Amino acid sequence: MKETWGELPLFEMRNVTVDFGPLRVLENFTLRGEPNCFLCLLGTSGVGKTTILNLFAGTLKPFCGSVVSRARRLAYVFQEPRLLPWMTVEKNMEVGLYRLGGDKRRREEMVRQMLQKIGLERFAGYYPEQLSGGMKQRVSIGRAYVIQPDLLLLDEPFTGLDEALKTSMQDLLQMLSGWHRCTTIMVTHDIREAIKLGDRIIVIHGRPGRIVLDMAVSRKGKEDPAVRGVLEKQILSALYLTESNLKAVEIHGKENPHFFPEAVTTGAASAAGAASVAWPGGMRGNR
């Protein structure tokens, strides 16, 4: 996953700094993403994950640095569904289509097809208060996909759901991302969810937040239980770096982008090699 700044990514931020009063959340932060990638952001609370989404959404401006999105259509799914209570399910899903133009019949057909995909065609005339939490989030995700976005932002959309419902929602998201390929940035605290859904995983650590792990996830990595176990251990190690290891990443990562502190990789490297999995870019300091 070598970065070549001559190519045009779908989104990029360079040397971005964000302050909230005296609190510096991001400093000289750089990130870019290619079209049609599914990127998962992991990190403990307060490291700037949602801040990154808001920067790309344009709802937040950086103190310094540049943020560029070349997406023509952007959709944002939040932790809570944020449905309009005075509108029915079908009208909630139609809201984003008004900006795209087209006649009423075309909008209604697009909504009808999406309701079928998310399994809620029988609830088109229901109001949000009549739906369960999982159904509301299905509507929220369907509303995002119905506009067929170039860039989809997801901020922990399955928080608070039980495991069975969360798995069902993950399967729905996989189905929809297969139906409409777009660049997706998803914030999550669930490592297994990130491995299942993402083809690129980034771990952010510290305050101000910095990238300490940037890895690609292959189809084999998703399907092989042994490889998934190695991936989980490596992500956990990155999430809970000690200050000494973090300092080593900052110093040596600039010289060698594949540098891993010994304590982070103990036992993982040999297992990863046996499973024939590579992590392009390795663990590295924020560039």
> Which residues sit opposite 29 in a β-bridge?
16
Phi-psi region of 102 (alpha: psi -120 to 50; beta: other; left: phi over 0): left
pTM for the model: 0.82
Closest CA to 154 of 141, 168, 170, 166: 141
Whole-angstrom Cα distance, residue 272 to residue 268?
A: 6
Domain boundaries, the chain: 1-72+150-287, 80-148
CATH fourth-level superfamily of 1-72+150-287: P-loop containing nucleotide triphosphate hydrolases (3.40.50.300)
81 close to 137: Cβ distance less than 8 angstroms:
yes
Q: What is the pLDDT along the chain (287 residues), one digit of tens a residue?
A: 444 444 578 899 999 999 999 999 999 999 999 889 999 999 999 999 999 999 999 999 999 999 999 899 999 999 999 999 999 999 999 998 988 877 889 999 999 999 999 999 999 999 999 999 999 999 999 999 999 999 999 999 998 888 999 999 999 999 999 999 999 999 999 999 999 999 999 999 998 999 999 999 988 888 889 988 999 999 999 998 755 555 554 544 444 433 344 333 333 333 333 222 333 333 333 33
